Structure 1
Amino acid sequence: ARGKLLEQIFGDRDVITDSDQGKSFRAFWDFLMSPSRQDELSDLLDTVFTLPAITGLSPDRRLKRIHYDWLEAGEHTQRTVAQLSQQLRRYLDDQAYLENRRIMDVLHGIEAKSLALRDNQPQGTFSEIDSSAPDISLPMERPLYSPPIKPVFNDAILPGEHAALNTDILFDQVVINKDKLAGEIRKALQLRPQIMLAELIEHCPLEQGLAELLAWLSLASEDHKTLFDEIHRDTLHWTDSKGRQRSVHLPRIIFNR
């Protein structure tokens, strides 16, 4: 009821303020509150009263002070509005007091019922909440979509002064036949349940160097039966394309049937 009353009061006030009469009164009051405009009006009235046509009419001299009468009437209107505001504030204070008193009565009732149930508490779960805090997901916290940046490559080849561009390396690719290596593992496991990678490489030397060794390691990682012994380590040797001896130390890898 209080909310509806306040809504009606402030709604009517807005209607009055937005009406033509309300706008006129506001502009008129602003005019009365402006000392410079009051002085301007006094000068204009003095000028008008000195005109021969006006002097012949014998005007009432009180018209020169009419703006002071307007100011007194405006103050009376403002005092009326102030009285209405005081009455409204007093009404709200009374309503707030009654509302607070009602809330206290409700709390005292809850407290009395809680004390009465102190020795006879309810058993089991009688109230549940989904979470102790709300899970807030704000739409504006999500990052905006940003298109991926496509790099721009300059494919123009700048010839050197005395250097010739050698493109043979682009076509000299090393291809490792992993199926052949997997076949060697299956063939070896037909004769024994386990075999180490070092034994396989001793039987099938590395012809493609490090690339072939990586292929063996790839097969070992893909087979879930393969064991990696971190305690024991093996050393593998091979000869690269330039005839140099190469070696690598790695954990012992055991293939199982």
Structure 2
Amino acid sequence: MEYEQIKHELKNSATLKLLRSDNAPLILSFFYEQFKVTQRISITQLELETKLGNYLEFLQDIYPDFDRRSCNVPEGKSPKEYLNKWCDDQLLRKTFNSSDDSVFTLTPAAEKAIAWLEDLKRREEFVGTESRFLQIFSLLKEIRDRSTTDIETRITQLEQDRDRIQQEIDQIRQTGVVDPYNPTQLQERFLLANQITTQLRADFSVVEQNFRSLTRTVQEAQLQQDIRKGTVISRVLDADQELKDSNQGRSFYAFWYFLMSTSNRQELKSLIQTIYTLEELQPLTQEYGLLRRIERILIDAGEYIVQSNHRLAEKLRQMLDERNLMENRRVAELITEVQRLALQVATLAPPDPDFWVLEGEPTVNLVMARPLHPLEESEMPTFSMDFSDLPEVMLDEEITALYQQFYVDEEALVQRIERTLEQRTEVLLTELLQLYPVTQGLPEIVAYLAIATQSDRHLINTSTIESITITSLEPEKRLQLTLPQVIFHR
């Protein structure tokens, strides 16, 4: 960081302005109580105004030395004016939900200020040097292993991991002793997991802000005067895909697809339940309860960002509609102007006897005056066919295969999916095949994939690969298939 950069940040950063302001205790305590304690992403304007009014009265009743004027909070201001002022200071963002109600969310600046105070207030039992270093070591190793494209190198890496695991298995079998982490190591990693969870929760507002910046870039490109209409249409229709293809989008949606997997969520729940029952962690589990709610927190925050992305893409499409409407209105105005001018001169005779003069004699080209194409004799192709010594053709197998043709009824498969989704919000293809085993071999699997790709409700998660075993059309033969994870949603 250079001198000018630090000077600029200290002067213009909304986070530092908030921390330096006289009413920072009021704002940050109110934000923390409404958004963090209740674990809410957005709050309607009516509710937040009511809560702010009650909070100001509470402070005046509980703390006699609390003075609005000393906190730069004028006595006559209404809660609505406070909220608008905080929006102007880039501490709150005002948007509209699906019901067209005004809602407020915290900006990245407010999130950073709250996270800094939480980190300052956090009572560290100790600094987890080992767990932090091992996390760095693990990340570096993962970068090295996952960056190679050489087949032999990757196989060697996997074999080393396999040998290390096998060596530990053999040692446990020989000694009958498992070497677990001691209480200090467990507590150290537990505190690190809570810290990362807190940072991730605060980073969601930054993720949404980055998506909004990408959308603004697309909007600016569309507002150029010399841009072609076809280019605008292409950009608008691909806006949602542009968000997903960006670095921010690829990272977020990889996380979202992982979280949307039923098996991954079940595993996450199992891990949390197991961890919070460990006797070594009992001194910390009461104070650090954030991990208990991590699934619900991440789903709510991720769903808010997904819906926000849909709304941003919809706004881009509305811009296209508005532009088309403006162009159509301009064309209609020009046509009306031409008609008005035509009516003005309709009753006036032309000033010159010749309205339009063409120089030269007209050239007439009649269709029948064109000559026919000359006929040219072409050589007659000659060939000979020898029907002697032809191999004997057995058509029994072909005829049998023709009689064994069958049709995969996609409607029946759709009905299976709908019946299963009556009791669940989503179902994996692997789970569906356990309920309804395959009877028509590979074509039935292809039909399921076709159903998933033809509906916007369903999802094919290419980041997760699954293996299934199905019966073939041939008796006593089974097929091992590897395909991306297919999720059917209600």
TM category (shorter chain) comes to 0.3 to 0.5
Q: TM-score, normalised by structure 2?
A: 0.23
Higher alpha-carbon Rg: 1
Q: TM-score, normalised by structure 1?
A: 0.39
**Higher percent of residues as helix:** 2
Structure with the greater relative contact order (CA < 8 A, sep ≥ 6): 1 or 2? 1
